[in-house]
């Protein structure tokens, strides 16, 4: 049993921060995070954050379906936010139930880092 748990944890780690978004999902990869709110194939809102404040921090969402990348949003300025001692740049989009094909990956990209966490949209 212990070996199965370790194997499952290692597999999840190797997948690099990809988690299902059939309901609500939060994915953190390095200093970047992605939050998807929705139900099944419908996304109500999505957003993300990057640790630290910076000037000119922007983000955008893109999807990957069957190996094809499609930009979902344009670049949007991130808002510098502080919560106690924690500083981060935050950005959000409202989709009001936009539907995606089953198996689509929804990803966030910041202009100040190469880290791009993704969440899989599925039934």
Closest C-alpha among 31, 24, 93 to residue 62: 93
Take residue 16 and report the two structure tokens written for it.
């690099």
pLDDT tens digits, one per residue of 31-48: 999 999 998 899 999 999
Phi and psi at 9, nearest 5°, equal: -65, -40
**Cβ 21 vs Cβ 73: under 8 Å:** no
pLDDT category at 9 given cuts 50, 70, 90 is: very low
* Domain with 50 in it: 18-121
User: For position 39, what pLDDT does the model report?
Assistant: 87
3-state SS assignment for residue 113:
coil
Residue 100 lies in a domain: yes
Residue 17 has pLDDT above 80, yes or no: no
Residue 3 lies in a domain: no
Residue 5 lies in a domain: no
Closest C-alpha among 114, 112, 122, 107 to residue 52: 112
Closest C-alpha among 34, 37, 76, 43 to residue 57: 76
Residue 19 has pLDDT above 70, yes or no: no
pLDDT category at 18 given cuts 50, 70, 90 is: low
CATH code of 61's domain: 2.60.40
What is the average pLDDT score of the chain? 83
Residue 6 lies in a domain: no
Residue 41 lies in a domain: yes
**Cβ 88 vs Cβ 15: under 8 Å:** no
Tell me how many domains the chain contains.
1
pLDDT tens digits, one per residue of 45-90: 999 999 987 789 999 999 999 999 999 999 999 999 998 899 999 9
């Amino acid at each position: 049993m212990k070996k199965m748990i370790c194997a499952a944890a290692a597999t999840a780690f190797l997948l690099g921060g990809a988690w299902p978004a059939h309901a609500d999902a939060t994915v953190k990869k390095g200093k970047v995070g992605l939050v998807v709110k929705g139900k099944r194939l419908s996304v109500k809102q999505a957003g993300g954050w990057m640790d630290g404040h910076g000037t000119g921090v922007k983000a955008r969402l893109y999807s990957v379906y069957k190996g094809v990348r499609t930009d979902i949003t344009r670049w949007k300025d991130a808002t510098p936010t502080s919560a106690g001692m924690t500083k981060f740049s935050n950005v959000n989009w409202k989709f009001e139930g936009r539907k995606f094909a089953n198996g689509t990956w929804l990803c966030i990209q910041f202009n100040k880092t190469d880290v791009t966490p993704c969440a899989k949209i599925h039934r």
